[in-house]
Structure 1
Amino acid sequence: MKKVIYLFSLLILSGMILMSCTNAKKQSSETEAATEVAAAEEEGWITLFNGEDFTGWRGYNRTDMPTAWTIEDGAIKINGSGMGEAGAKDGGDIIYDQKFKNFELTFEWKVSEGGNSGLFYLAQEVEGKPIYESSPEYQV
């Protein structure tokens, strides 16, 4: 019986240690991201996404942010329907609410296997027209 209690205690302790390491890693990643953003801004870069909210972002040809877009683990994500952006409930394209002319753009991306995503740049909002008719797209 003592062996069973001892093994059970070790199992619980191991689980607690693993859980605390995972949380520490997440906090460490968040701290590293904040440090990178601060360093980039000191060098004159403009950070378009703060990893926390949609400040500066809105839907294409809209004044609000489509609700299908969320922030998960510091990344922008759409909760799609699997039918493309046209099939996403309150999805569609999003844009940054500031225009830029002469710029260098760097970004990190992640897309699911078999996913189809891209980044439109130099977009012009044309009422009643999709974004791809007025903007080149970088496929990821």
Structure 2
Amino acid sequence: MMARVALLALVINVANRAETQATGPKKGKWVKLFDGKTLTGWHTYLKAGQPVSDKWKVEDGAITLASRGGGDLVTDKEFTNYELELEWKISEKGNSGIIYRVHEDPKYKASYQTGPEMQVLDNERHPDAKAGKNGNRTSGSLYDLLPPSDFSAQKVAGEWNKVKLVVNNGTVEHYLNGKKVVEYKTSGPEWDKMVSESKFKGWEGFNKFNTGHIALQDHGDKVWYRNIRIKEL
């Protein structure tokens, strides 16, 4: 009897391993990065363990930059492969950004020195919309590198926009209000060419770290972020 039980257990174990190898590991679960009430899980760039500036507030279930001087807000945790979802709303003439793959080190004075940025902008009123090349500083763009494929995806200032950001094994996708507007490889000849023609040319740490924090940018303008969640892949 004992021999039969052992044999059955072995068969089940082999079958389970075969299934795992065939389908791969299961994806992670969605985890909230913002509880809707506090800034727990976040800190100011290069100031881990210190109180977050009172320029960053929680209002009506959203993280809000009330005025300039708060510094970029970054996640306590670092991530490698993931899907990030959130909603943002920008003030008139406002500018902000979602910066990812951020590496914290005093040698880098700002989050954007290492992390690429998904632009958050009032396209109608902010001058950055007309700067850069072919709209590569408008909402949804890979800032100063790639314009969004659909300039109509963004909603106007004062309205909520939904974002999905997928970072997975060297490929990044930006989604804005249900439309995929950017896709790129994080290394290789195409990436190198883009960087060489951008403001990031010669920046030693830019996009060099596969694992990093996620940042909400303080560009001095009022902005709101809510329903922030992540699923590690």
TM-score strictly above 0.5 = yes
1:45-79 residue CA offsets vs partner (Å, 9 max, x unmatched):
01100110011011000022122100000000112
2: CA distance, partners of 1:109 / 1:56: 19
Structure 2: runs of 5 or more not aligned: 1-27, 121-233
Pick aligned residue for 2:98 from 119, 130, 135:
119
2: CA distance, partners of 1:126 / 1:116: 25
Please state if 1:71 is matched with 2:79: no
Q: Which of structure 1's runs of 4+ aligned residues deviate more than 2 A?
A: none
Q: TM-score, normalised by structure 2?
A: 0.37
Which structure: greater strand fraction?
2
1:126 to partner: Cα distance: 2.1
1: CA distance, partners of 2:112 / 2:74: 12
Where do residues 1-140 of structure 1 align in structure 2 (5 Å cutoff)? 44-63=29-48, 64=50, 65-81=52-68, 88=69, 91-128=70-107, 129-140=109-120
2: CA distance, partners of 1:139 / 1:126: 23
1: CA distance, partners of 2:81 / 2:65: 29
2:76 aligned partner, one-letter code: D
Instruction: Figure out how many residues of one structure are paired with residues of the other and give that number.
Output: 90
1:4-42 residue CA offsets vs partner (Å, 9 max, x unmatched):
xxxxxxxxxxxxxxxxxxxxxxxxxxxxxxxxxxxxxxx
1: CA distance, partners of 2:97 / 2:106: 21
Secondary structure of the structure 1 residue equivalent to 2:115: coil
2:74 aligned partner, one-letter code: I
Over the matched positions of the two proteins, sequence identity in percent amounts to 43
CA RMSD across the alignment: 1.4
1: CA distance, partners of 2:66 / 2:59: 11
What is the match of residue 85 of structure 1? Answer: none
Structure 1: runs of 5 or more not aligned: 1-42, 82-87
1:112 to partner: Cα distance: 0.7
2: CA distance, partners of 1:51 / 1:95: 16
Which structure: greater helix fraction?
1
1:108 to partner: Cα distance: 0.5
2: CA distance, partners of 1:61 / 1:79: 20
2: CA distance, partners of 1:101 / 1:67: 30
